[in-house]
Structures are given as structure tokens and as C-alpha cells.
Amino acid sequence: FSNREAELQNCNFVRNHMEATSEQDGGGSGAGDYEALVAALMANRQLLEAKVGINNAMFAASDLATSQLGDSFVVGGCEGQKTIDGEQMPLVLGPAREGAGEDGGTGYEALVAAVRAKREWLEDKVVTNSAVLLRGFDVRDAAEFDAVVEALGWPDIRYVGPAPRTHVHGRIWTANEGPLEQSVYFHHEMVLIKEFPAKVILFCEVPPPEGGETPFVPSFRVTERALEEFPEMVEELDAKGLRYTFTAPSNNNTGSMRGRGWEDAFGTSDKSEAETRAKALGMGVEWLEDGGVKTILGPRTLTRVFPGRKGRRMWFNTLVGMHGKELSSATVADGAEIPASFVQRCEEIIEEESIQFRWRKGDIVILDNLATLHGRRPSLPPRRVLVATCK
């Protein structure tokens, strides 16, 4: 490793400080040892963080080798990557062969071939790591992204929700088209609908010059921390369930992050047919005088446990995103109010647990929608991120 000499220097630095402090204390140990160690660690913090990243990559590379991946992928790293419960989030995979990617001309075709060859392995990694970032394959546009999505072999699921979106190509849509200066709150995609996607796949066609990250959060960590601080509240809300309302206009309003009109959302301008489709999705409706509609959903549990995910309780709700907002509400199913202080603390926990990286052109990230919340940071234009949702 190129860091080997620096690592040895770091070890010597820590050892020398410990020895010097021990001599000053007459060969004993105590507060001086602790203070010296802390000083050494703080002085070499960046090096130690780099070492952790190297070790993580070594373990991941070892796992790739034992999985006999051949020339399909190589493991990499990215800024913002974290190790949660022993797993890298996101797991970063790049082209195994030199020349595949930005400068080699093989581009997305190499990724399509790799995905087809290792489809089951890749799906397992999405579940194990909760997020997989495919980087360096030079995927250029919606058509090439669609080819990658098709190669994954996961059935399509139609998006139903408040975000304004536009169909682009095949199974590909724009991500939320609301104003870039606004953020998108953390959420599981279509969390309140009866049938929600198992995977959300995002592709960066135009990276923003500043901001615009798509942060994600390991959902089980939010539940764990909420239980530590508010055990009775969490269990009560889970037992009683939550009730949500959301008000949608008749037609789309791209000036709002949640400005999708009900005609577009339900795929019809007929109110009777819209009611039928809403019922099939698990929601009731109340028509408003201005032509809009209030949708009612619930009761819904606060957390859920899904197969194959270590029995983890996922924070599978949209309490923070809908509680006390202008167009939405979230209450206990019996109508009781939820303390704003509890909701605010949950929002803080979600932010504290978030993971993010800077988008690069051609990046594709696959999120396990059953295990991660995701959002969007405000950004400068231009920014173009496309999405596919899969069962």
C-alpha cells in the first residue's frame, strides 16, 4: 500500500508518546496515557480514516474474490461511504477491465453484460449492503440506463405519489421535478401505497455543480435510536397505527415538490374512476371545492420487518415528511396528535444517520427501498437524475 510508510510513522508516533508519558509518570499508566493517545489519534485522524477505508475495501475485495466474480466488477470506494453493522454503504462497484468506462468505449455495454452475468449476486448485494453504486461505466443517457435496468430483470412498478415526474424512455422517468433549491425529505418510495417498489434505481445524467446529492439512510438505525430515546412512544404508535392525509391539486404544479395533480397520479380525469383506483391503492378520497382532492391513508404501522433483512425493524413511514405540513398531516390512527418534539427528534436522527456522495456523470445507484430512506439536497442547476422503480 502507498500508505504503508505513513502507517508505520503513525504507529511509532503513538508508541513514542505512550512511552514518553509512561516515563514521566514513573512507568505507570493513567490519565497521561489516555491524553497522549487521544492527541496522537487526533493528529493522525485523516490517516486513520484512510486506513479504515483501505481495510473495508480489502474485505469487500476478498468477498468479491470468494464469490468468483471474474472480470465482471471490481470493488471501489467513494466519499461519504460508511460501514454500518459490518457492511459498506454504499457498496461501490466499477468495471473490472481496463478500458471499460469513460475512456474505453465499451461503456454501458460492459455494465449490461456484467449485470446479466452476475444478476443474482448483485441482487444479494443490494439486500446485504442496502445500496450499491455502479460507477465508471460511462452510461450516457436514458436509453442506456434503460438497457441496464432491463438487464437487472426486475419487474417494473408504476410510480404513484405526489412528486411531479415526466416519462423519458422505456421504464425511465425523471426524478422529482420540483424546484432544485428545495430539498426532498427522506422517505421510502411509495411507503403508504399497498404495493411499493422493492428497489429504486437512480441514474445521474447531468451532475449538479454544487449540492444535489441523493442522501440515504439505513432505516433500521432510525428505529433503533428512536427506541433508545422514546421506547413507549414508538411501541404505542406501532400498535395503534398512523393516519395520513394529503391534498393534491387537479393538475400538475412543478413549482412544488409535491405538486403532482390527481389526474396525473390516478391516470384519469374522471372522479368516479379516480375513486376506484384510489381504493385499489388503499386510500380514501374527499373532493374539494377547488377541484383538488384530499386523500386519506391508514392506519399504517410505524415500523415493518421484511424477509431476508436480519429481522431489522425498518422505519417504514412518512411521519416526518407529512406531520404538520401545509398540504398533509400525520396523526395517530384514533385522531390523537403526535408530539411535535418527538417528530423533530426523529427528523434529527434521520439526518444524523444519513449517508451521501457527490454525483458523477454516469453513476447508477440501486437502493433497497425496503431498507433505506432517501431524499435530495438542494442544488444549483443544472441537475438531471432519472429513476426506475422495480418490484
- pLDDT, average across residues 256-270: 86
Percent above pLDDT 70 for the chain: 82
Which candidate, 230, 216, 170, places its Cα nearest to that of 386? 170
Could you report the per-residue pLDDT of 56-104, keeping only the tens digit for each?
555 554 454 434 455 789 999 999 999 999 999 999 999 987 544 444 4
pLDDT at 249 over 80: yes
Q: Which fold has domain 219-352?
A: Double-stranded beta-helix (3.60.130)
Evaluate if residue 182 carries a pLDDT over 50: yes
Reading phi first (left if > 0) and then psi (alpha if -120 to 50, else beta), residue 267 is in left
Q: Mean pLDDT check: name the lowest of 157-166, 199-208, 212-221, 333-342.
A: 157-166
Give tens-digit pLDDT for 291-330.
999 999 999 999 999 999 999 999 999 999 999 998 999 9
Helix (H/G/I), strand (E/B), else coil: 205: strand
Q: Is the pLDDT of residue 24 over 70?
A: no
All three cell numbers of 234, joined, read 414508538
Mean pLDDT (whole number) for 192-212: 97
Listed ranges 100-109, 225-234, 252-261; the one with the highest mean pLDDT: 225-234
Question: What per-residue confidence (pLDDT) applies to 57?
Answer: 52
Give all strands of the β-sheet with 184-187 in edge-to-edge order: 184-187, 372-376, 216-218
What are the CA-CA distances from residue 277 to residues 39, 193, 239, 273, 290 (Å)? Answer: 63, 12, 28, 6, 21
* In contact, 48 and 10? CB cutoff 8 Å: yes
- Listed ranges 5-9, 29-33, 39-43; the one with the highest mean pLDDT: 39-43
Average pLDDT over residues 179-207: 97
pLDDT on residue 101: 42
Domain 73-208+357-390 is of which CATH architecture? Answer: 4-Layer Sandwich (3.60)
Three cell numbers, residue 178: 420540483
- According to the model, what pLDDT value does residue 91 have? 98
* The pLDDT of residue 55: 56
d(CA 193, CA 274): 15
Lowest mean pLDDT among 62-66, 233-237, 273-277: 62-66
**Domain segments of the chain as ranges:** 73-208+357-390, 219-352
pLDDT at residue 48 greater than cutoff 90: no
Q: Calculate the alpha carbon distances from 263 to 179, 232, 329 in Å.
A: 21, 41, 21
73-208+357-390 and 219-352: identical CATH topology: yes
pLDDT of res. 102: 43
Model pTM score: 0.81
> Over the chain, what is the mean pLDDT?
87
Which residue in 165, 192, 169, 189 sits closest to 260, CA to CA? 165
Report the pLDDT value the prediction gives residue 252, as an integer from 0 to 100: 83
- According to the model, what pLDDT value does residue 104 have? 43
Reported as a pLDDT band with limits 50, 70 and 90, residue 164 is confident
Model pLDDT, residue 30? 56
**The predicted structure's pLDDT at residue 148:** 98
Q: What is the pLDDT of residue 251?
A: 86
**Cα-atom radius of gyration of the chain, to the nearest Å?**
24
pLDDT tens digits for 110-133?
999 999 999 999 999 999 999 999
Beta-sheet pairing, 167-169 with 199-206: unpaired
Q: What's the average model confidence in pLDDT over 368-383?
A: 98
Q: pLDDT confidence of 257, banded at 50, 70, 90?
A: low
For residues 283 and 372, give the distance between their C-alpha atoms in angstroms, rounded to a whole number: 24
pLDDT for position 67: 42
Q: How high is the pLDDT of residue 10? A: 47
pLDDT at 42: 76
